[in-house]
Amino acid sequence: MTAFLMTIATTVLLGILYPLAVTALSQIFFRDQANGQLIPKDGHLVGSRLIGQVFTGPGYFHSRPSAAGDGYDATASGGSNFGPTNQKLIDRVNGDTSRLQAENPNTPVPVDLVTASGSGLDPEISPAAAEFQIPRVARERRMSEDKLKQLIAAHTRGRWLGLLGEPGVRVLELNLALDAEK
């Protein structure tokens, strides 16, 4: 009888009350984070700060490749699991590198423009990857490269506490700022 009552008590306490308390506290103190850091535009949901999106138009900054399903599919999150000697990975990276070098000759291609992240959902690219794309975006949008550099700087997240992690540019927010410009 004691074991049965203990099971009921812990189920109610840890299975119902604790999750409700944590959910309530997160909604009160961390509402944006608890709800997925969603980005609305003109009353419509356009994405999340946490999950990348595919941008293919020449007038937009492109995200890094995704190995998640058909591209940034959160239900198929994960990398390709291809090792560095896998011929499929080598062929894809070489093809992407050739395409990008044709777009911006004599400029080294940043590695994050030809490799997918571990989750396949990365919403950010490196500042170098954003700067690599400036000539194409400037040409397509008829904007100055200096204006694009300012937009990139405004949407670059620095290192946490100035020490940890790498700087990153959130592609969705940068492209929304581009659309707001013109």
Q: What is the pLDDT of residues 78-103, one digit of tens each?
A: 667 778 888 988 888 888 888 888 88
Q: Give the burial class of 53: count Cβ atoms within 10 A of its Cβ; 0-12 exposed, 13-18 middle, 19 or more buried.
A: middle
Domain ranges of the chain: 1-35, 36-181
Q: For all residues of the chain together, what is the average pLDDT?
A: 87
pLDDT score recorded for residue 21:
96
**What would the DSSP string read from start to end of 82-139?**
--TT-HHHHHHHHHHHHHHHHHSTTSPPPGGGTS--SSS---EE-HHHHHHTHHHHHH
Q: What is the pLDDT of residues 38-57, one digit of tens each?
A: 888 888 888 888 888 888 88
Q: What is the pLDDT of residues 125-168, one digit of tens each?
A: 999 999 999 999 999 999 999 999 999 999 998 888 888 988 99
pLDDT score recorded for residue 9:
96
pLDDT score recorded for residue 69:
67
